[in-house]
Amino acid sequence: MQPLPRLRRAPRLPVAGPRRLPEESGQATVELVALLPVVLLLGAIVWQLALAGHTAWLSAHAARAAARAEAVGRDGTIAARSALPKGLERGLRVTRRPGGGVKVKLGIPLLLHRWRSGASVSATASLGARP
């Protein structure tokens, strides 16, 4: 019986793709550190836009509550204040409009409800003229 011939391994071919040079070992970390402020700034801008939209929605809700209270002879300011979270009550301004409407104006918080920006939103609601 003859011995089986030994199989030889095929030579390894170089892998296609980029090769890392020793000087590029921390490149991804440097890029992450460089882009991190940009990502944080974009996140803060998106959060601020979400807060502005939420404040506009809450001002409309408070205006409807104040208009309902005014329609039944109650104080619209108390009703509007009760429809808002505590953090937004500080900048609340309620104005009675001619013809039975109510205008509610709120300051837009800046990143947190405790900080205020110079901008504000307002909403008007009315239930129609009284009979």
Structure tokens at 24: 């590029």
pLDDT digits (tens, 9 = 90+) for 1-43: 777 777 777 777 776 666 665 666 677 788 888 899 999 999 9
Higher-confidence residue of 43 and 116: namely: 43
pLDDT digits (tens, 9 = 90+) for 36-76: 999 999 999 999 999 999 999 999 999 999 999 988 989 99
Judged against a pLDDT cut of 50, whether residue 131 lies above it is answered with no
Q: What does pTM read for this prediction?
A: 0.69
Name the phi and psi angles at 116, rounded to 5: -115, 140
Give domain limits for the chain: 31-125
User: What is the spatial distance between Cα 102 and Cα 50, in angstroms, rounded to a whole number?
Assistant: 25
Nearest to 94 by CA among 118, 119, 124, 120: 124
Judged against a pLDDT cut of 60, whether residue 104 lies above it is answered with yes
